[in-house]
């Protein structure tokens, strides 16, 4: 199987400030479903704990798996800062084995499933989830449709500024720039990301460039893969709104039961 993409260096360090998910309003969706089924919860690709930490703060037992040590270290730091704890492990969502432990909820927040580019990687991940789910459990998998790029009409866009954040007190500015290439036929979006840390006067302190490819899955493909992995009861929601998706929904969330 392909090597996993590695979040490390500036990309990991600045994730909570610069990633577009930092301001994304999806937590109440996960919270509602996690509260509805007895735990424990497994957060696959938990990253720095954007969803994991507030779930733990609600008193839920959460296990977090991520392939990046750097992201897990940041998650651990946030947990201890909040006086909380959770079981965290470096692991691969395509191939993990937590022994006899079974979960009431397994979730893959932040569209991390789209980092699995090949069909067999998605199949492997869904099968692992199925094995670790209790009979009454639920799997929550959001996917993202890059309508912004598809409707743009171009098949690529050069690097441009996406986000800028002032670090109050530190006299620093953090800047995220992004360019992209779209392969509509192959359902792949390649992102060129540049992360910068600058002084308030604009002087560059550090920078990093990374390339990432994401695959988007159409609803009928996801339904087929979920069915093949043993999920027979699947509800589909649009944009974390507790309603079916619209034709232009950017987020399509699958809630799958056995
Ligand atoms: C876009 S971030 C999402 C992080 C977090 N879930 C959130 O919503 O903020 C993707 C995360 O998935 C992790 N990841 C990517 N491929 C993985 C894999 N095969 N197994 C486990 N984690 C993976 C990355 O290290 C990163 O932390």
Encoding tokens for residue 217? 């899955």
Of 4, 51, 65, 112, best ligand 1 pocket probe by most atoms within 8 Å of the beta carbon: 112
Instruction: Using the mean position of ligand 1's atoms as its centre, give its distance from the Cα of residue 110 in Å.
Output: 7
3-state DSSP assignment of residue 38: coil
pLDDT tens, position by position, 53-87: 999 999 999 999 999 999 999 999 999 999 999 99
- pTM for the model: 0.96
- Residue 78 buriedness (CB in 10 A; 0-12 / 13-18 / 19+): middle
Q: Is it true that domain 147-214 has CATH number 2.20.25? A: yes
CA–CA dist 34, 235 (Å, integer)? 15
Distance CA 68, CA 8 (A): 7
Q: pLDDT value at position 168? A: 75
pLDDT on residue 152: 87
Q: How high is the pLDDT of residue 183?
A: 96
- Return the SS3 of 168: coil
Domain chopping of the chain, boundaries: 9-145+216-257, 147-214
Residues of the chain with pLDDT under 50: none
Question: Fold for domain 9-145+216-257?
Answer: Rossmann fold (3.40.50)
Top mutation candidate among 27, 31, 49, 67 for ligand 1, by most atoms within 8 Å of CB:
67
pLDDT score, position 39: 87
CA distance 183 to 158: 15
| Ligand 1 binding site (Cβ under 6 Å of any ligand atom) | 4-5, 7, 21, 45-47, 50-51, 65-68, 71, 92-94, 109-110, 112, 115
């Amino acid at each position: 199987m392909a090597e996993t993409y590695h979040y490390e260096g500036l990309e990991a360090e600045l994730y909570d400030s610069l990633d577009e998910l930092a301001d994304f309003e999806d937590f109440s969706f996960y919270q509602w479903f996690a509260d509805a089924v007895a735990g424990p919860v497994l957060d696959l690709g938990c990253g720095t704990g954007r969803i994991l930490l507030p779930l733990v703060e609600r008193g839920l037992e959460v296990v977090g798996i991520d392939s990046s040590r750097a992201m897990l270290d940041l998650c651990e730091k946030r947990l201890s800062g909040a006086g909380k704890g959770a079981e965290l492990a470096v692991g691969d969502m395509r191939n993990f084995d937590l022994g006899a432990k079974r979960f009431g909820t397994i979730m893959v927040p932040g569209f991390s499933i789209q980092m699995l580019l090949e069909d067999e990687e998605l199949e492997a991940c869904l099968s692992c989830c199925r094995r670790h789910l209790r009979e009454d459990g639920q799997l929550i998998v959001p996917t993202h449709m890059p309508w912004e790029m598809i409707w743009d009409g171009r098949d690529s866009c050069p690097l441009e500024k996406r986000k800028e954040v002032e670090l109050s007190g530190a006299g620093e500015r953090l800047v995220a720039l992004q360019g992209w290439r779209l392969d509509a036929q192959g359902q792949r979006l390649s992102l060129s990301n540049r992360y910068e840390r600058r002084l308030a006067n604009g002087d560059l302190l550090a920078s990093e460039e990374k390339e990432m490819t994401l695959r988007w899955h159409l609803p009928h493909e996801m339904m087929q893969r979920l069915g093949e992995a043993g999920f027979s009861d699947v509800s589909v929601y649009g944009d974390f709104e507790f309603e079916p998706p619209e034709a232009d929904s950017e987020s399509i969330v699958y809630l799958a039961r056995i």
